[in-house]
Each structure stands twice: as C-alpha cells, then as structure tokens.
Amino acid sequence: MSEGTFSTQAGVLWGTIAREARERILKNVFCRKCRGSVEMLGVTGEEEKGDLILKGSCAACGQAVVRVVETSERDLSGN
C-alpha cells in the first residue's frame, strides 16, 4: 500500500484510525472495472464535510478508485 499526499485535515482524520483498520480500508475498495474488492495504491486524501475521501488506483488494473470513510458519522458523545 502506498500513500501519497493528504490535506492537513484529511491527515488528522486518517491518523485517528488504527493502523490495522487503515490497512483493511485500503485493501477493501470496489473497482468498477474489476467488478470486485481490490487494494488501493497511490492513495491521496482530502476532507469533505467531515468525511475522509481517499482516492487512488486499483492495484490490479490501474483504474481510478475512491473510498469514502464516514468519519462525520462517529458517535463522539461517549454514550
């Protein structure tokens, strides 16, 4: 898994996710061309409305892929 550039806020959000979970996220991305779950390479990240948007390419075919990590949906109330 290769990681590229992240915006400042995206880097903060990405850093709050456990390393093992980050690895699972990057290895479980849907590719329209391969029609299945693939690994994402060349990852870049940006924040949009509190969510983390990861962009990269399919490890199998090179097609552009995107993964949304809905960090804005987290329950921060402690309940």
Strands, sheet with 64-69, edge to edge from the N-terminal-most edge strand: 3-6, 40-48, 51-58, 64-69
Q: Tell me, what's the pLDDT at 79? A: 45
Q: Which tens digits make up the pLDDT trace of 19-64?
A: 999 999 999 999 999 999 999 999 999 999 989 999 999 999 999 9
Q: Report in angstroms the alpha-carbon separations of 1 from 49, 72, 75.
A: 26, 25, 29
